[in-house]
Structure 1
Amino acid sequence: MKKTLLSSMIIILMGLLGACSSNTSDKASLPEQSASENETATPVAIEVPDTLGKTYDAVEVMPEFPGGTEALLSFIKGNLKYPQKAIDEQTEGRVIVQFVIDKTGKVSSPEVIRGVTSELDQAALDIVSALPDWKPGEQDGQKVNVKYTLPVVFKLI
């Protein structure tokens, strides 16, 4: 019993010594500040420019494909490559692709948000990546990045 009590006391003392030594080393590494320094310190607001730019879901003036919606549909119809494997397997469907039309009108960050098969999904991403530059969207008179969602329909005739 004496041995257990003595062991417990030693462990407690070691813990206290460790706490005291770490406490004093923390204080030693911190610079001393006078009361007047604390009173004169003023928080400063720093304005960080928005270099990435916000991406909008909807804006006052939506992006426009050159020539309008009919031209967009014509571009897709004329350039879409139906994967041979999907033709062989008689696979049809609608792939929903979301992408960003940036401030300069370039298409970026295409991603499938609802797919059919990996072959059709890739073909949809390929056609979206091949789109020419658009007229960018605008918000408050400024050109902005805008998310755009496009269904790409695969139908065998």
Structure 2
Amino acid sequence: MRITIKFRLIGTLLLIGFLGVAQEYVADLNVYTTVDKMPRLKGAGNDISRFIRKQVNYSDNLKIKGVEGDVWVSFVVTASGEVTQVELEKGIDKELDARVIEAIKATEDWKPGVLNREKVNTKMRLPVRFQLSSGERQLAGSIKSLEVLGKHPLFVLDNKIVDGLVAIEDYNVESIRIIKGDKAIKLYGDKAVDGVVVMTSKRGTPPLY
């Protein structure tokens, strides 16, 4: 009788211990959207979106296509400070969307979210904004008028032909105009068969070619 009671007692203790570990394990898997302190990324300050934006190459090719807007992403910062479950919620361009996802996955040195004084898994959702300057937007709009599959306009900056698109800051832009057809070819030769984007920078600004 004593032996039976002893085994039952041991079995009960093992079961209680197992349930305790199981409950603790389940708690570790919980993901919270509302916490007392949100996760913080070292070096990002209070603007994680802006920090991520700086890590992404917003290329001239994207700007010339007029790509701008908010890339919405969600991800989980675990209780141990790791980034998991990175997902795109709303994108604006496949190439740019992928770069944002890669930038978030590459982040390190996260301080996890805190709930009831305990570090917890926290789901975050944020927009990463890409915005053209007025000059870039004007240039993109002008080039769209030349869009023909497989063709590319010639770029001329301050009366000099440049190789490809020049990254010209908004404050440097004096004017942008488009020349097409025979007039373009007459002025700039056969290279201008797809049209010409003529840009003029303001006086006193550094040369961009």
Normalising by the residue count of structure 2, what TM-score does the alignment of the two structures yield?
0.48
Q: Which amino acid aligns with 2:116?
A: D
Identity of aligned residues (%): 33
Runs of at least 5 residues in structure 2 that lack an aligned partner in the other structure: 1-14, 134-209
Equivalence map 1:88-107=2 (5 Å): 88-107=64-83
Q: Please say if 1:69 is aligned against 2:40.
A: no
Residue in structure 2 matching 1:114, options 86, 90, 103: 90
Which residue of structure 2 lines up, in the alignment, with residue 131 of structure 1? 107
Look at both structures and tell me which one has the larger radius of gyration over its CA atoms.
1
Task: Please list every run of at least 4 consecutive aligned residues from structure 1 whose deviation after the TM superposition is greater than 4 angstroms.
Answer: none
> 1:84 and 1:110 mapped to 2: Cα distance?
26
Query: RMSD of the TM alignment (CA)?
Result: 2.3
> 1:116 & 1:62 partners in 2: Cα distance?
27
Asked whether 1:58 is paired with 2:44, we answer no
Do 2:49 and 2:129's aligned partners in 1 also have CA atoms closer than 8 Å?
A: no
SS of the residue 2:52 aligns to: helix
Q: Deviations over 1:67-104 (max 9, x none)?
A: 4214x356334321125542331211101110001111
Identify which of structures 1 and 2 has the higher relative contact order when contacts are C-alpha pairs closer than 8 Å and 6+ apart. 1
Counterpart-to-counterpart distance in 2, 1:148 and 1:83: 26
CA contact (8 A) 1:92 1:155 kept: yes
Contact conserved, 1:83 with 1:123, CA < 8 A, in 2?
Answer: no
In the aligned structure 1, how far is the partner of 2:92 from the partner of 2:50? 22
Give 1:5-44 correspondences, 5 Å limit.
none
Match of 1:81 among 24, 38, 57: 57
Could you tell me how far apart the structure 1 residues matched to 2:104 and 2:37 are?
A: 21
Q: Deviation string for 1:31-51 (max 9, x for gaps)?
A: xxxxxxxxxxxxx88622425
Name the TM-score, length of structure 1 as normaliser.
0.61
Evaluate the alpha carbon distance shift between residue 85 and residue 109 of structure 1 in structure 2; reply closer, same or farther with a 3 A threshold: farther
- Match of residue 141 from structure 1: 117
Distance 1:125 1:83, change over 3 A: farther
* 8 Å CA contact 1:82, 1:123 repeated in 2: no
Deviation readout 1:4-56 (Å, 9 max, x if unpaired): xxxxxxxxxxxxxxxxxxxxxxxxxxxxxxxxxxxxxxxx8862242551000
Q: Which runs of 5+ in 1 are unaligned?
A: 1-43
